[in-house]
Amino acid sequence: MVKYGHLQHGDIVLVNDEGLLREGVVVGKDLDDQQIHVDNGVQEFWYHTQDIFPIALDDDQLMKFGFEKEEVSGAIKYKKGVFRLVVPQTGNFSNLEMWYREDRRHFNVPIAVHELQNLHMSMSKVPLTRP
């Protein structure tokens, strides 16, 4: 489950669509009913937060966003413009460092795709979307 306050327009999440998990994009929020409006590729629908789940950040997800991958001295660096993300060579996404110009951040816990999108937006002021 993802907390209501952690979701922003454009975030990519998993939704429980009558027992089937589908990837979807947040297109709106209803503060009164605490529901999230998600386009799941088949339809747009309002979901309660208990039906919304995070997508684990991994190599495949970064490639879908158009990051370039480079191996450097025992680590893997992902690049998109001047935004950088580095993980150990093992691909351990629970220990990562990211930076945009002089803003550097280090995480010792796994982050989800929507969290990366929100961090990218706060650091660069540019939405992270899939091409």
Task: Tell me the C-alpha distance between 2 and 84, whole Å.
Answer: 25
- What's residue 126's pLDDT? 95
Could you please state the CATH topology (level 3) that the domain comprising 59-124 is classified under. Answer: Copper Amine Oxidase; Chain A, domain 1 (3.30.457)
Give residue 86's pLDDT band: very low, low, confident or very high (50, 70, 90): very high
Summarize pLDDT for 95-126 with one digit per residue, the tens.
Answer: 999 999 999 999 999 999 999 999 999 999 99
Contact 117, 107 (CB under 8 A): no
| φ, ψ at 53 (rounded to 5°) | -130, 150
Could you please state the CATH topology (level 3) that the domain comprising 4-53 is classified under. Answer: SH3 type barrels. (2.30.30)
Sign of torsion over alpha carbons 94, 105, 26, 91: negative
Partners of 70 in beta bridges: 77
Share the mean pLDDT of the chain. Answer: 94
Domain ranges for the chain: 4-53, 59-124
Q: How many CB atoms lie within 10 A of CB 37?
A: 16
